[in-house]
Structure 1
Amino acid sequence: MSWPFLIPLILQIGPWPGGSTVSALPQEMRDREALEQQKQAAEASGQELNLRQQCLQLARTSPVAGQQQAESWLAIATGTQKAEAGHCLGFALSQQGQWSAAERAFSAARIEADPMDRPYRARLAAMAGNAALADGDAAGALILFNAAEADARSGGDASQLADIATDRARALVVAGRIDEATQSLATARATDPANARTWLLSATLSRRTERLGDAQQQIEQAARLDPANPEVGLEAGVIAVLTGRDDAARKSWQSVIAIAPDSAEASVARDYIAQLDGAQ
C-alpha cells in the first residue's frame, strides 16, 4: 500500500483555510459575485447595467480603479445607494487583499441597505464574514455569519441559508470547533442538498477527521452535482488513496489534469501521481 508516502502532501490540501491568513480572494466570494452579475444581467433584459454592476465589473478587472469609482460614488450616494457603493468598495478592496478594510466596507453597506431587503443584508454580512475570515479573524467572522443567518432566515432563501451555514462551518474549523463545524455542514446539506460546495467541504472535513466512509459518500455526491470541478476530483483522489484504492486515486487525479490542465489543482494532481508512482 503506497499511501503513507503521500500523507505529508495530502494533509496540506483541501478547500478549508489552513492558517490565520488567506492570500487570495476566497473562491466563494469570486463565484457569488459572478453569479450575481449574471443573474442581474439576465433580469435587465438588454437594458444598461446599473451602477453597482458597472462598478463590480470594473473592480473585477481593475481593483484599484474599481475602488476609486466606489469611493467617488459613496461620497455622493444617498439612501440605499450607499449600500450598493459600499458593496462595490468592499469587493474592490477584497480583490486587493485588503481584508480588514473590506470587512468594514461590507459591514457599513449592510447598515445602509434597505431594512426590508433581508436577502441583500444577509449577503453583505456574509461577505463581511468572509473578509474577516480571510484576515484571520474567525471569532469576528462567526459574529457576522450569525447576523447573515438571521437576515437569511427572514428572507426564506434555502440556498442562501445553506451557503451561510457552510461559511460558518469554515470559520468554526479555523476556530478549532470541529464538532460544531460538522453540525453546521449537516445543516447546510439538509437545507440545500443540491449545493456541491457544501458536499465537497463536508468530504474534506470528514477526511481530515478520519471518517473516511462518510468522506467517500460525500465526495461522490459532490461529483454527481459538479463533475467538472477540479477541486472535487482532487479530493476524491485523496480519499481514494487513503482507503487503499490507488488506481481510483490515479484516475481521479488524471481527470483533474484533463479538466483543468493549467489550474493549481492540476499541478497538485501531477505531484500526487508522481508520488504515487514513485512509491510503488
Structure 2
Amino acid sequence: MSFALALLAAQVGALNTPGAAPPLPHERDTTPLRPPRNRTKVAGAPAPRVVTETVCPQTGDFAADADASRALAARSTGVERAKANECLGTLLGMTGRWNEAGTAFAAARQDARTPSWRARLGAAAGEAALNGNDPATALTALDATVPDALDSIAMSGFVALLRARALVALKRDAEAEAPLAQARDAAPNDAEIWLLSATLSRRLNRLADAQSRIEKAVALKPADPAIGLEAGVIAVLAGRDEAARRSWQSVVATAPSSIEATTAKGYLAQLDPALASKPTPKPTEQPSR
C-alpha cells in the first residue's frame, strides 16, 4: 500500500508510525469561557472564546468562589440565579470541571431574560460539553441555542462552528458541512475555521475543496503549524508528494517544539526515510498551498 493510501485509511485513527494523525475538527482546542477580569487562568487551561459579561467573585480562590456562586444560585431566583449560575459555570470551567460547568450554564440559560444572554449561555453550555467529551449533550444544547443566536451574526457563526465540531465528534461528518459553511460566512477571516473546513473536506474525500480551503487558511495564517500539517496531508493524498514534503518540512522548521512538528517528522519518515537525515528548510519558508 502506498503512503498516500495508508494515510487515507488512517484518517479516523492513529497512523502506524511515529506521530499522531492530524487533528480533526472535534479534536482541536474548543476553548473554554473567558475567566472574570483580573483573574489568573489555571495552568494548562485552553484559551478563552465565550466571554462572560457577569461580574463574578474574585477572591483568588477558585474553589471558594465556586462555592459562593453555588450558594447564591441556591437561594436566588430569576436574573440573580442566572448570574450566579453563569459565574459558577465559568469558575468550574476554569478548573476543568466541564460537565459540571455545562450543567451550570444550562441552568443559567433557563433564567436568562434576553435572547442574546440565552444565546451566550447556550453556547457556553455546548462548549463546556465539548471540552468534557460529551458531544451529544453539546449538540442538544447548541441546537436549542440556534433561535436565540439569530440576531447576532458573530454568535450565530460561533454556535454553528460548535455544532460542526459536535457533529464530527458524533461521526456525522456530512451533516457538519452546512454549519461549518455558516461559520465561514460569519467569520471569513478566521484561519481556524478554514482549517477545519479543509480537514472536513479531506475526511469526505473532496480533495479539490480541501485544497482551496487550506490555501485560504495558509493565506490568513501562514506560519500556523496545524495548517502546515494539514496542507501536507491534503497534498500527499492528491499525489503531490513534493508539496507535502515542503509543507511538513516547514512545520518542523518554524515550530520545531510543537506536537505538529513531531507528527510532521513521522510523516516525512514515511514518505521518504532518507529525508530524516536531510536539513530542514529555513524558517522563512511557508507551508505549501
Amino acid across the alignment from 2:23: G
Show the 5 A alignment for 1:17-36. 17=26, 27-30=29-32, 33=34
Show the 5 A alignment for 1:239-278. 239-278=234-273
CA offset digits 1:227-261 (Å, max 9, x no partner): 23222111111101111112211222233233333
Show the 5 A alignment for 1:64-213. 65-76=61-72, 80=79, 82-113=81-112, 115-116=113-114, 118-153=115-150, 156-213=151-208
Contact 2:42 2:95 in 1 (8 A): no
Q: SS of the residue aligned with 1:146?
A: helix
2:13 aligned with 1:4: no
Select the structure of larger CA radius of gyration.
2
Q: Percent identity?
A: 44
- Residue 266 of structure 1 and its aligned partner are, at CA, apart by 2.0
- Residue 10 of structure 1 and its aligned partner are, at CA, apart by 5.0
Bigger share in helix? 1
Counterpart position of 1:58: 40
Q: Structure 1-normalised TM-score?
A: 0.75
How many angstroms apart in 2 are the aligned matches of 1:87 and 1:274?
48
How many angstroms apart in 2 are the aligned matches of 1:112 and 1:208?
40
- Residue 279 of structure 1 and its aligned partner are, at CA, apart by 8.2
- Residue 53 of structure 1 and its aligned partner are, at CA, apart by 2.0
Could you say what the CA RMSD is over the residues aligned between the two structures, in angstroms? 3.0
Contact 1:86 1:106 in 2 (8 A): yes
Q: Indicate how the Cα distance of structure 1 residues 76 and 98 shifts in structure 2: closer, same or farther if over 3 A, else same.
A: closer
Q: Indicate how the Cα distance of structure 1 residues 136 and 250 shifts in structure 2: closer, same or farther if over 3 A, else same.
A: same
Q: Structure 2-normalised TM-score?
A: 0.73
How many angstroms apart in 1 are the aligned matches of 2:228 and 2:40?
32
Runs of at least 5 residues in structure 2 that lack an aligned partner in the other structure: 13-20, 46-59, 276-289
Runs of at least 5 residues in structure 1 that lack an aligned partner in the other structure: 19-25, 38-51
Contact 1:122 1:147 in 2 (8 A): no
